[in-house]
Structure 1
């Protein structure tokens, strides 16, 4: 093909291909019936072979429709050749035989593939061939045979044209709906980013400001406390810087248009390239979540990978997204050094480790369960379980530790 674009791609192409297959199925069945009902006086070896060949060619077009349809769209002359094949069958089978209905399918294909242009070119050709075949056979000239039957070619062309017009209208409506969904998702994304800056970044910066304000007092009254507060300020500043980078990365990423599986794969691939750590992703492409929930899941993944980079010293990370019953589960497992998970996550905050707390807050916002399982020397596994159905009960406990 000369065009790089696949004419069978998208919803319109799928409908076009599906209708072509249906017409070929009808043509194969009609050819078989015509072969059985051919009049006794015309049941010659040549007639049987010709009708059988038409059926076989239709069957080949049915099974090779992915290659046939693009060729027909690019070279309309091929459908004109199909009309000649139908004419040969009319010559041996007779214009009044049951095979006449099989030839009408060619007109329907002309309307389906080329719309009115194809109909106005192919249908007159078929009418001419019909009269040519009729002149070579014995038939009674009546209004039905002379006018009514040839009009069926135009009726078939009209049906094909009407179907194509419906497909095009459906495609336009689908594209408009998709644009509306993207616009709505983009608006929700802007709202989410504003909320992220208010709920996360602004609070972090406010905490840094308050701690820095009190730092001179601690330097005078309690140097040890001052050192501890200084470490917390440094840790909080690192978190703020990372949050800024994440927000900028999300602004640059076309996350709304990508599937959840593609977003996860892209995120892990970028992280693996930056860190040099081997990473595997097993994400079900059929799984998706509402925009708000999918952003929380992606943010949890990024935080988990950041923790692996900073603390785990891992050589392998495995990320899995799967549906389990009525829930969607994201699992991030590494083979790093692991750690002892405290019963109270506030202990981690006091030590300047806010990663788990951040993931816990994001899971809470998505109505999910966050599980962090780790032991020294045995790696760490972070699991996020999100109810997949709107009627799923929201859990009362959002963090499991082991």
Structure 2
């Protein structure tokens, strides 16, 4: 509408100064509108923070409206100001800008009253301004409610994903007990039964060998039991408050540096007191992903320095692993990794998805190297 009304405004401008003034107002309003449409995400925060920008747009629009008259297409373009004010500022902003816009319309009508047939169009546009402000506020409330519903849905999905991950981990441990400890103990029982049944018919050397076999199998079963029970204890102990994620990451980074000789720094950006307790099933996946990323930086990227950053921003737990290595090939996809047999990154993605986290792999903020960023909503963690 500004483009349609601009020629009329320019044709009615009087004198060089008026022409330059109207032309400048046309350029500013058209360029400003185009910039808003193109980079709304950039300019919207500025409009919210500095309401004077909206007031400046109102002034330039008033210059065009005063030149073109309220009956022109520019008159109907004025309803956009209350609409945008309602979207950005709510009821108060919509009311203020709608009132100011109506006052401007009445002032322009007073200037053009002698050449207009009546105030009908001005009153109609004034009503449109009020309606546009109401529509803007309504849309604002709908957007906010939709955003809240989306966040709530994401939190529920993340919590369900964590619950599923815990259940899958329990099932895995049960399978390990069945496939390792149970079978080992069954073998111990068979060997002991055979030894008891035929000990009187065996020579001392054979008896000693069979007894040693039983002892070794029993020690193996005990070691397997300790390994599995150390995992289960964290789930069954009612006083267990979870795993200190910072300590676990510190131990893994220290071990990685000792094994590879690559200098590795752990940056703790957690808020005071600088610790975060995470359920063991979730911490296990987070630490495993971090360890895999560290190993990849050494094996594949040949990094000379690695940084692990632990932070919690905007209710999101973030673990970033950055290196100064060769980086990843361009346009790399999961299908390419699967076809080429690189299942390490695929495993990292699957582990992250299993606990409701999001994994990003790329260059990040550095011009070279690779950054692996793992983000998990804190709302997904059980209370």
Indicate whether the TM-score tops 0.5.
yes
Asked if the contact 1:115/1:164 (under 8 Å) is kept, the reply is: yes
Aligned 1:1-400 pairs, distance under 5 A: 30-38=1-9, 40-42=11-13, 44-62=19-37, 65-137=40-112, 138-201=114-177, 204-210=180-186, 217=195, 221-244=206-229, 252=242, 271-276=252-257, 277-278=259-260, 316-318=298-300, 323-324=334-335, 330-332=342-344
How far apart in 1 are the matches of 2:297 and 2:73?
A: 72
Asked if the contact 2:337/2:343 (under 8 Å) is kept, the reply is: no
Asked if the contact 1:110/1:119 (under 8 Å) is kept, the reply is: yes
How far apart in 1 are the matches of 2:32 and 2:62?
A: 15
Alignment root-mean-square deviation, CA: 4.6
How far apart in 2 are the matches of 1:332 and 1:46?
A: 64
Unaligned runs of 5+ in 2: 236-240, 263-281, 302-327, 348-353, 355-383
Offset, 1:74: 3.0
How far apart in 2 are the matches of 1:254 and 1:37?
A: 70
Q: Secondary structure at the match of 2:122?
A: helix
Could you report, residue by residue, the CA deviation over 1:35-62 in whole angstroms, capped at 9, with x for unpaired residues? Answer: 2454733483432222122112333444
Inter-CA distance 254–327: structure 2 relative to 1 (3 Å threshold): farther
Offset, 1:212: 5.4
How far apart in 2 are the matches of 1:34 and 1:57?
A: 16
Inter-CA distance 168–49: structure 2 relative to 1 (3 Å threshold): same
Inter-CA distance 224–315: structure 2 relative to 1 (3 Å threshold): farther
TM value normalised by structure 2: 0.55
Deviates more, 1:71-80 or 1:112-121: 71-80
The match for 2:314 is none
**What is the number of equivalent residue pairs in this alignment?**
271
Asked if the contact 1:193/1:247 (under 8 Å) is kept, the reply is: no
How far apart in 1 are the matches of 2:101 and 2:169?
A: 63
Asked if the contact 2:70/2:109 (under 8 Å) is kept, the reply is: yes
How far apart in 1 are the matches of 2:342 and 2:77?
A: 55
Inter-CA distance 101–231: structure 2 relative to 1 (3 Å threshold): farther
How far apart in 2 are the matches of 1:185 and 1:67?
A: 34
How far apart in 2 are the matches of 1:104 and 1:270?
A: 62
TM value normalised by structure 1: 0.53
Q: Secondary structure at the match of 2:12?
A: helix
Could you report, residue by residue, the CA deviation over 1:346-366 in whole angstroms, capped at 9, with x for unpaired residues? Answer: xxxxxxxxxxxxx9xxxxxx9
Offset, 1:245: 5.1
Offset, 1:125: 0.9
